[in-house]
Amino acid sequence: MSQPPSAAAPPWWIWVVIVCATIGISFAGVLLQNELQDTPPISRACWRLSLTTLFLLPMAAWEFRGWKSSDRSKMCERKTWIILIISGLTLGVHFAAWVWSLDLTSLAHSLLFVTTSPVMILIGNAILKTHRASYLEIGGVLTSVVGAGITLIDIREDAEVTAKGDALAFLGALSIVFHIACGRTLRSWMPTSVYALPVTFFAAIFLAIFAAIFDERTPVFGWSTSDKAGWFVLLAFVSGIIGHTGFNLALGYVSPIIVSISTTMEPVIGTFIGWLTYKTSPPGVFTSIGGPLLLVGIVCVIKAGEATNPQAVDDPSAVVVEQTITDPELAPS
């Protein structure tokens, strides 16, 4: 579990970690859409999380050894495992929807809309009347809605951008909201990797079930025999370990808002990396106008959220595990 940021100036190397982590998570969509597109989408997500589970094993074992015995006993409670299973289910839905969206819409649209979970959280709190929104939060939501509306104008039947793909990216953002809620419940007393390991494992299991339901005839550990095995390992390590674990490390030295805003840059950096490495299509005119507005609105919501509750952190990328490798409110993409 990361510690509250120190009052002292953070060491210079933590900024290198943040830069590497931001670039690391930004590679996920690029690789999934371009290098690994021959594997069916849900299987792609399943293989990624099954590999992430293997990476998490030694980390979880190390944290478990140093864990207080009084908290270990809570792991045996039925309520704990129900929440872990629900967290894994919602993480699995997030990955299934987001990776599938990469096959049906542009990289820019997929990354933009899967980052909207902070806005969805705020809207949900307003509907349930659990939080009184500030003027900055209201302005952020309205800016995001206007930006999303402008961005959606780029949808055309014969274009790379599709309504179905954008809707799946939205579903990915919505499902991560519930995953974040589960994380908040358990991560107050569970170490990061001890929480992430079972959640990621359950998510991989659910994804294997989803793959079977949607008739994707691929084995659960098919990555081990795939000619793209090296790419899947690279994906799990670069985006999962360097990316989200890097952010988790950074939370011990810098304000959560720095980490949250850094992850919000994923659509910009990911789209640029995709264009630079695979010549993916640049954003359309309306995406170039609406996308920045959408991101500005999300940053406003994050900034206002920290002002009203400095301990709260909501990862706009969802792009989590990746979001379970990070702190409780940092979700995987």
Contact call for residues 325 and 189 (beta carbons, < 8 A):
no
Degrees (nearest 5) of the Cα angle 120, 159, 215? 70
Query: What is the predicted pLDDT for the residue at 127?
Result: 78
Query: What is the predicted pLDDT for the residue at 315?
Result: 37
Query: What is the predicted pLDDT for the residue at 308?
Result: 59
Backbone angles phi, psi at 326, to 5 degrees: -95, -170
Query: What is the predicted pLDDT for the residue at 68?
Result: 82
Where b means 16+ CB within 10 Å and e means fewer, 67-93 reads beeeeeeebeeeebeebbbbbbbbbbb
Query: What is the predicted pLDDT for the residue at 307?
Result: 62
CA 192 → CA 184, 252, 295, 324, distances in Å?
A: 11, 13, 28, 8
Q: How confident is the prediction along the chain (333 residues), in pLDDT tens digits per residue?
A: 444 444 568 899 999 999 999 999 999 999 999 999 999 999 999 999 999 999 989 989 999 988 887 788 888 899 999 999 999 999 999 999 999 999 999 999 999 999 998 888 888 877 777 778 888 989 999 999 999 999 999 987 557 899 999 999 999 999 988 888 888 888 778 888 899 899 999 999 999 999 999 999 888 788 988 999 999 999 999 988 888 778 877 877 887 778 888 888 999 999 999 999 998 888 989 999 999 999 999 999 888 876 655 444 333 333 333 333 333 334 445
CA 161 → CA 5, 53, 100, 259, 330, distances in Å?
A: 41, 33, 13, 29, 28
Query: What is the predicted pLDDT for the residue at 203?
Result: 95
In the three-class reduction of DSSP (H, G, I as helix; E, B as strand; rest coil), residue 126 is classed as: helix
Contact call for residues 302 and 118 (beta carbons, < 8 A):
yes
Contact call for residues 118 and 305 (beta carbons, < 8 A):
yes
User: Which pTM does this prediction carry?
Assistant: 0.86
Backbone angles phi, psi at 148, to 5 degrees: -65, -40
Query: What is the predicted pLDDT for the residue at 332?
Result: 44
Domain residue spans of the chain: 12-308
Backbone angles phi, psi at 281, to 5 degrees: -60, 135
